[in-house]
Amino acid sequence: MRWLKWFEFRGKSLFHISYSLHRLTGIVLVIYLVMHLSYLTSIRIGREVYEYFTSTTLTPAFLIFDILLVLAGVYHGVNGLRLILHEFGLGYELRRPLLYLCYLLTLVLWLYASYQMYLFVMGV
Amino acid sequence: MDVIFRVRRFDGEKSYWSDFVIPAKKGMTVLEGLYYIKENYDGSLAFRASCRMGICGSCAVKINGKPVLACETQILHLNSTTIKIEPLDNFEVIKDLVTEFDGFFTKHEAVKPYLIRKEDRYSEPEELIQKPEQLYAYYKYSLCIKCGACYSVCPASSSRDDYLGPAAMTAAYRFIADSRDEGDGERMQIVCGDCGVWRCHFAAECSEVCPKKVEPAKAVQKLRFRSAIYMLEKFFIRW
Amino acid sequence: MRIRNDIVIVGAGLAGMRAAIAASEVSRDLSIAIVAKTYPIRCHSVCAEGGTAAVMREGDSFDLHAWDTVKGADFLADQDAVEFFVREMPKEILRLDNWGCPWSRTQDGKIAQRPFGGHSFDRTVFAADRTGFHEVHTLYERMLSYPNIVRFDEYFMTNLVIEDGEVKGLTAIELKTGDIVLFEAKVVIIATGGAGRLFGFTTYSHQVTGDGLAVAYRAGVPLKDMEFFQFHPTGLIPSGILMTEACRGEGGYLRNSKGERFMEKYAPAKMELAPRDVVARSMWTEILEGRGLESPYGPYIALDLTHLGEERINERLPLIRDAAIKFAGVDPVEEPIPVRPVAHYTMGGIHTNMYCETPVRGLYAAGEAACVSIHGANRLGSNSTAECLVFGRVAGERAAEYALKKSYYPSTDFLKEEEKRINSLFREGEESAYEIKAELNRTMDENLWIFRNEDGMAEAVKKIIELKERYKNVSVADTSKKFNTDLTFALEVGFMLDLAEVVAIGALKRRESRGAHYRTDYPKRDDERWLKHTLAYYSKDGPIFEYLPVTITKWQPVERTY
Ligand SMILES: Cc1cc2nc3c(=O)[nH]c(=O)nc-3n(C[C@H](O)[C@H](O)[C@H](O)COP(=O)(O)OP(=O)(O)OC[C@H]3O[C@@H](n4cnc5c(N)ncnc54)[C@H](O)[C@@H]3O)c2cc1C
Ligand code: HEM
Ligand code: FES
């Protein structure tokens, strides 16, 4: 179970935690993608099945999952851009401010997206 | 002040914890505490240490969850009454705090960590000119004491035995950036290879724990930049 | 297990690794094993801070370097060896440069040099204040490029096999498994470093317990000049960590409790940069006469760098600043560093000639473990890493030539015997090796320190003999095999006891003051009777002493003033 070390938080700095979260969110996104695609392909079984599936995802109870999913997605995306920057040897000295910026950006984007989704689901 | 040392033990078969009471004084280091245990309580406690001045790299252990040099860490600075001492992660434990380092050194060796010059003048060496700014371009990376702290926290090393690891990458960069070195091609081949820099995920924990502030993550990042250019060059030259 | 090689080098410090490289350069067909109880880059040489002396520039000369060395040695050095040594040195610096050593540089990119105690020219080449560290790493890395050098890391040498005046090999414990291994070899080179841990307050690493010296001594090889032990003026209190001489080389001052630069009383010309024995004695006199500063760890002297400024300290003495902050809580940029003289260097060692040959065929010694005698009664700063490089090379080359000529491998049945001896230590005894070591350290610190006298030394000898007696009953509690540091510690203490005896009796016998050996009851140098090397031979009832004349070529002994 050596891969469990990927998600070892104790005694670790924020950088390592960001890495763990990135990996975690990546996996979540893959799982979501698989689910998402299987929902979409369910239309091949029949329109009713498809509509049943999609309608469950538009309930307020499901909103909470969506909001978390967006958090994962946004974090993964923003942090991913940060990583791409670093991977090419840029901005190493700025890594701490960039990390904070990345968290801030994630938070802002996520709140905004959640608000929009809330409006959409509640049908306002 | 009395402090409890909770030491992770391993006797070849089973692991267990041992507690020892250490009368800590101002200025006393964790290493001195370990010697205190060995001299007064339990001679069978095994740990590595030599220079006790933070330069030989023997004494890296995990203290309260963080890899540090035991000889550089003062007990009272830890501000805790129970101090947990464990061997480094990502290394196989031989006994108590002593871990297997052969693999680590083999990986270091794999990046050809020596100055490569086209002409080897063993019998008639000459003075090479290196300006201070050329020296400082790599000097920081030559300060690595190979204590293994970076390797022990590297998530890429934890799940892949073949990744060469932050210390080896730093060693590679130290020579690549040295103005006297002429072995770029040879070394880049290894660095860009399957076990090289592209395995890094920039968790950057190595830079956080390095007791000598060598910043292995930075070396890896700089190497990536060079690797990218090197691979592009190779690609276009082949065309 | 048996392992067979042409050359076995024990000790992977500067001297050992330099020897391995030199031997491999002679012939790539030789199989060379380098055996050490630590990984090579964990050896004690990494602690060397200040620098390495070599004549590199206009204005300096070989004769001047040799004269400084001989005068520093209080004329006990063999002058033919010194002359050879200074001539070979510059090439070694350049080789290290060609192998990647990050020497500190001048603005135009040349290798920089700094002043050092006892040298009358700025000839100490350095890599910040981590010279030994960079040299060791450079040699280690270079060594990796030779395919015929095989490393045996973490093998603890326990005995040397000498039969019929010829070396046959050695035995060692493989720490990882606990197995005893017999290395059979045509040639053995001992480069195991000094014996500094005889003293309690010392700059040495924990590993420097004189194993190689004791092993060779027990096997019948004589030890030379062991009574000469260098005390470095500036050891950080309380740990003893070295504050390099470069602190003074870069312009630092020593001050007593009145704030005076007291060195003007003792060495008006060279001041703080007089040789170490002179400065250490002056500091100790100040302390004895009550002009030391007070601390919970006893009186000390202030090493003042504050006037150098932060920038210079950061550039030239980064390690010192770091260590002072970490280990003493003092930032040298703002406050003086608390220091006291500290045991620092073993001038004596295995008796060899200029070619590193011992009296035993096929056995060579180099580095601090050897006493070629270029340091005589007092080593000059930065001459010892230099010695390791030059004589490491000589030993390697000579050994390789010898091994190429020798057509057969020796064989021996020593393994069984050694296994029995080691296993006999695992027993129920009432003595603890740790206690014996602590008592030994106390005795040495008290009676064989900077100022010595008849009574003190006689008492030390008595104590050491008593400790040796007690050691016969020592027990090793840990009976496990893997990485048994309890066992190796007990073995080390055994080695140290034998060496302490040689040091103490040798010092007691030498009724004069010369270099680092200073006797309050015989405060004068006595060239008529004592201008000679001490040789100590092992016997069951303690060392047997002989004396050997000093080789003098150009420089007759004169009075030593600074
Ligand atoms: C703090 C300090 C600072 C110094 N600064 C300077 C300086 O600025 N300039 C200068 O010229 N000199 C300096 N010196 C002196 C110099 O560092 C040493 O004299 C020199 O490094 C000795 O090198 P060596 O190769 O002989 O031995 P070491 O480096 O001590 O190596 C000994 C080797 O032998 C091995 N070994 C020992 N026992 C056994 C055994 N039983 N079995 C197997 N292997 C064994 C060890 O593992 C090690 O690899 C300094 C010394 C100290 C203590
Ligand atoms: C904005 C879009 C995205 C960006 C910028 C991005 C960026 C990145 C980056 C840079 C990495 C490498 C991280 C590393 O080196 O450790 C990565 C890994 C990964 N990504 Fe993305 N990604 C994005 C979208 C996605 C999506 C939509 C998914 C899911 C389908 C996904 C799944 C993963 C997975 C599983 C990993 C591997 C995890 C790891 O190696 O730590 N990513 N991503
Ligand atoms: S003992 Fe050498 S680094 Fe800690």
Between vectors from CA C366 to CA C98 and to CA C154, what angle results, nearest 5°? 85
Query: Does B52 sit in the ligand 3 pocket, CB within 6 Å?
Result: yes
Is B221 in contact with A16 (Cβ distance < 8 A)? no
CB of B60 within 8 A of CB of B69?
Answer: yes
Is A5 in contact with B158 (Cβ distance < 8 A)? yes
The minimum CA-CA distance between C204 and chain B, rounded to whole Å, is: 7
To test the ligand 2 pocket, which listed residue (A76, A90, A106) has its Cβ within 8 A of the most ligand atoms?
Answer: A76
Asked if pLDDT for residue C500 goes beyond 70, the answer is yes
Note the pLDDT of residue B239. Answer: 67
Environment class of A52 (CB within 10 Å of its CB; exposed 0-12, middle 13-18, buried 19+): exposed
**Domain C2-49+79-86+130-228+345-405: what homologous superfamily?**
FAD/NAD(P)-binding domain (3.50.50.60)
Of the candidates C386, C499, C445, C406, the residue with the CA atom closest to the CA atom of residue C201: C445
Of the candidates C180, C183, C232, the residue with the CA atom closest to the CA atom of residue C203: C232
Of the candidates B88, B47, B44, the residue with the CA atom closest to the CA atom of residue B65: B88
| pLDDT tens digits, C120-129 | 999 999 998 9
To test the ligand 1 pocket, which listed residue (C320, C368, C493) has its Cβ within 8 A of the most ligand atoms?
Answer: C368
Note the pLDDT of residue C340. Answer: 94
Of the candidates B73, B83, B74, the residue with the CA atom closest to the CA atom of residue B3: B83
Is the peptide bond prior to C238 cis by the omega test (within 30 degrees of 0)?
yes
Q: Which of A88, A93, A99 to mutate to test the interface with B (most CBs of B within 10 A)?
A: A88
Alpha helices in C274-427 (DSSP H): 276-288, 310-316, 318-328, 384-405, 414-423
Partners of residue A12 in chain B, C-beta under 8 Å: 153, 205
**Domain B2-99: what homologous superfamily?**
Beta-grasp domain (3.10.20.30)
Asked if pLDDT for residue C213 goes beyond 80, the answer is yes
Is C323 in contact with B115 (Cβ distance < 8 A)? no
User: Where in the sequence numbering do the catalytic residues of C fall?
Assistant: 232, 248
| pLDDT tens digits, B104-131 | 999 999 999 999 999 989 999 999 999 9
Partners of residue A3 in chain B, C-beta under 8 Å: 158-159
| pLDDT tens digits, C35-66 | 999 999 999 999 999 899 999 999 999 999 99
Name the residue in chain C with its Cα closest to that of B71: C327
Is B54 in contact with C326 (Cβ distance < 8 A)? yes
Of the candidates A22, A19, C471, the residue with the CA atom closest to the CA atom of residue B158: A19
| pLDDT tens digits, C501-522 | 999 999 999 999 999 999 999 9
Is B12 in contact with C482 (Cβ distance < 8 A)? yes
Where do the structural domains in chain A lie, given as residue ranges? Answer: 15-122
**Quick check: helix, strand or coil at residue C207?**
coil
Asked if pLDDT for residue C231 goes beyond 70, the answer is yes
| Residues in chain B, pLDDT under 70 | 239
Where do the structural domains in chain C lie, given as residue ranges? Answer: 2-49+79-86+130-228+345-405, 229-344, 414-526
pLDDT tens series, chain A, 124 aa: 677 778 888 788 999 999 999 999 999 999 999 988 988 888 888 888 888 888 887 777 888 888 999 999 999 999 999 999 988 778 888 999 999 999 999 999 999 999 998 888 777 5
Rounded distance between C-alpha atoms, residue C512 and residue C305, angstroms: 36
What ligand 3 atom has the least distance to the C-alpha of B49? 1
Tokens of B113: 């960590």
**At the topology level of CATH, where does B102-238 sit?**
Fumarate Reductase Iron-sulfur Protein; Chain B, domain 2 (1.10.1060)
Rounded distance between C-alpha atoms, residue B35 and residue C444, angstroms: 20
Query: Does A40 sit in the ligand 2 pocket, CB within 6 Å?
Result: no
The minimum CA-CA distance between B236 and chain C, rounded to whole Å, is: 32
* CB-based contacts of C367, cutoff 8 Å, min separation 6: C11, C13, C14, C15, C16, C191, C192, C193, C387, C388, C391, C392
Note the pLDDT of residue B234. Answer: 85
Of the candidates B183, B181, B182, B180, the residue with the CA atom closest to the CA atom of residue B129: B180
**Stretch(es) of chain B classified as CATH 1.10.1060.10:** 102-238
Is B221 in contact with A5 (Cβ distance < 8 A)? no
* CB-based contacts of A63, cutoff 8 Å, min separation 6: A117, A118, A121
Full 3-state SS string of C534-555: EEEECCCCCCEEEEEECCCCCC
ipTM of the complex, rounded to two decimals: 0.96
Domain A15-122 has CATH 1.20.1300.10: yes
Mean pLDDT of C10-25: 97
How many angstroms does the Cα of residue A79 sit away from the middle of ligand 2?
9
* pLDDT tier at C561, thresholds 50, 70, 90: confident
Query: Does C392 sit in the ligand 1 pocket, CB within 6 Å?
Result: no
The minimum CA-CA distance between B229 and chain A, rounded to whole Å, is: 10
Q: Choose among C319, C328, C485: nearest Cβ to B46.
A: C485
How many angstroms does the Cα of residue C45 sit away from the middle of ligand 1?
4
Rounded distance between C-alpha atoms, residue C363 and residue C356, angstroms: 9
Rounded distance between C-alpha atoms, residue C384 and residue A39, angstroms: 77
Q: How many CB atoms lie within 10 A of CB C106?
A: 11
**At the topology level of CATH, where does C229-344 sit?**
Flavocytochrome C3; Chain A, domain 1 (3.90.700)
**Stretch(es) of chain B classified as CATH 3.10.20.30:** 2-99
Report the first-to-last Cα separation within chain A, whole angstroms: 48
Partners of residue B181 in chain C, C-beta under 8 Å: 100
Q: How many CB atoms lie within 10 A of CB A72?
A: 22
Environment class of A1 (CB within 10 Å of its CB; exposed 0-12, middle 13-18, buried 19+): exposed
| pLDDT tens digits, C173-202 | 999 999 999 999 999 999 999 999 999 999
Note the pLDDT of residue C412. Answer: 79
Q: Rounded to an integer, what is the distance from CA C127 to the centroid of its chain?
A: 20
pTM of the model: 0.95
| B and C: number of Cβ contacts within 8 A | 164
Portion of chain C with pLDDT greater than 90, in percent: 88
Look at C562 and C148; give whichever has higher pLDDT: C148
Q: Choose among B65, B207, B217: nearest Cβ to A11.
A: B65
Note the pLDDT of residue B184. Answer: 79
Note the pLDDT of residue C117. Answer: 87
Name the residue in chain A with its Cα closest to that of B200: A87
Exposure string for B146-178, b = 16+ CB within 10 A, e = fewer: bbbbbbbbbbbbbeeeebbbbbbbbbbbbbbbb
**Nearest ligand, measured from the Cα of C133:** 1
Rounded distance between C-alpha atoms, residue B191 and residue B222, angstroms: 12
Mean pLDDT of C425-442: 92
Domain boundaries C414-526, CATH class:
mainly alpha
* CB-based contacts of B68, cutoff 8 Å, min separation 6: B60, B61, B62, B149, B209, B211
* pLDDT tier at C384, thresholds 50, 70, 90: very high
**Nearest ligand, measured from the Cα of B51:** 3
* CB-based contacts of B232, cutoff 8 Å, min separation 6: none
To test the ligand 2 pocket, which listed residue (A3, A18, A29, A34) has its Cβ within 8 A of the most ligand atoms?
Answer: A29
The minimum CA-CA distance between B121 and chain A, rounded to whole Å, is: 35
Is B44 in contact with C477 (Cβ distance < 8 A)? yes
* DSSP letter, residue C222: P
* pLDDT tier at C106, thresholds 50, 70, 90: very high
